[in-house]
Structure 1
Amino acid sequence: MAEAAGGERKIVVAVDESEESTYALTWCLTNLISSNFKDTLFLVHARSPPALYTGLDGPGYMLSSDTVATMEKYGNVVAESVMKKAQKICRDLAGDIRVDTRVEGGDARDVICQMVERLNADILVMGSHGYGLIKRTFLGSVSNHCAQNAKCPVMIVKKPKSPAS
């Protein structure tokens, strides 16, 4: 990883409510953070906008403003919970590292790539859900998209599988 001017590095870690995200953050803190650098860790969370069905393509429905407000409130609660958990992990594993949190609404692929560019990040660290070919084809892969489009090196951390009991 290239060193930024003055030994300062901007490390972006994409965080969500998954175990894979938590593992990637933990991996980053134990393997990338160094006392030789003035690291700033940016925790980035993409809050998905609620899906709205307009009925323009056939039968559908519009969500009431109360329903949309409830969904937005829930999204904010999830984002706050994700960030509190991630900040606690940072305090527990890295102590005095500078941590900045960013929550943006939108598709995770776009939010993460835009944030990397806006922050002029030195590296992006993210977890991988380890979907197979079929699931990736239908659901898309955020990590794959970011690896192809982010304007910095991307470290995709895969959580090891637990041994069968």
Structure 2
Amino acid sequence: MAEEKERKILVAVDEGEESFYALSWCLTNIVNQNSKDTLVLLYARPPRPVYSTLDGSGYLFSSDILATIEKYSHEVAECVIEKAQRLCKDFNDIKVESKAEHGDPRDVICQAAERLNVDLVVMGSHGYGLIKRAFLGSVSNHCAQNLKCPVLIVKKPKSNGGN
């Protein structure tokens, strides 16, 4: 029997249930409990918006408020990573690394994937329509077009609950 190749799989996680569905799908369908896989959980903390006064005389918020915003952003990142790590606990044999990095998710995911030399990137799809994608852009589209490694985009099935 051939020995399994060690793989490094990056899973992009955020606050949305789509990313957790993608992580769960990855754990169930890609990661084998007997493999030597390393799962890298990556959370991209959006850059803090800069609010300045229109007349250029200074910032709109005090440093205390900006510090509170930064603290909240850090807490959100910790919660997302902890939730993702709990989901991975059932798979004892895989190595899990966690990273939270600042920046536009498109750039953060692409740069981390290349820097870490991952074999695969797994992401959830928000399922935006054509118009919304045109205005907001699609992180998964950007990554699929710009990364050299395979990108697996997992779309959460629509619920049949009449919503």
Q: CA deviation at 1:95?
A: 2.2
Equivalences for residues 98-109 of structure 1 within 5 A: 98-109=95-106
Equivalent residue letter for 1:114: Q
Q: Counterpart in 2 of 1:89? A: 87
Distance 2:54 2:106 in 1: 26
| 8 A Cα contact 1:7 1:36, kept in partner | no
Coordinate RMSD, CA, aligned = 2.1
Is the partner of 1:38 in helix, strand or coil? coil
Q: How many residues align?
A: 160
Deviations 1:86-120 (A, max 9, x none): 0000003x123100001100100000000000100
TM-score (norm 2): 0.91
Matched, 1:79 2:77: yes
Q: Counterpart in 2 of 1:28? A: 26
Is the partner of 1:8 in helix, strand or coil? coil
Q: 1:57 to 1:153 in 2, by over 3 A?
A: farther
Is the partner of 1:163 in helix, strand or coil? coil
Equivalent residue letter for 1:24: A
TM-score (norm 1): 0.90
Q: 1:15 to 1:57 in 2, by over 3 A?
A: farther
| 8 A Cα contact 1:13 1:25, kept in partner | yes
Q: Counterpart in 2 of 1:139? A: 136
Distance 1:63 1:136 in 2: 31
Matched, 1:51 2:49: yes
Is the partner of 1:73 in helix, strand or coil? helix
Q: 1:21 to 1:134 in 2, by over 3 A?
A: same
| 8 A Cα contact 1:20 1:159, kept in partner | yes
Is the partner of 2:77 in helix, strand or coil? helix
Distance 1:129 1:105 in 2: 21
Q: Counterpart in 1 of 2:160? A: 163
Q: Counterpart in 1 of 2:12? A: 14
- Equivalent pairs: percent with the same residue? 65
Distance 2:145 2:19 in 1: 19
Q: Counterpart in 2 of 1:123? A: 120
Equivalent residue letter for 2:100: V
Q: CA deviation at 1:6?
A: 6.8
Distance 2:55 2:149 in 1: 39
| 8 A Cα contact 1:52 1:63, kept in partner | no
Mean Cα displacement is larger for which, 8-17 or 34-43? 34-43
Structure 2, unmatched stretches of 5+, are none
Q: CA deviation at 1:55?
A: 4.2
Equivalent residue letter for 2:39: L
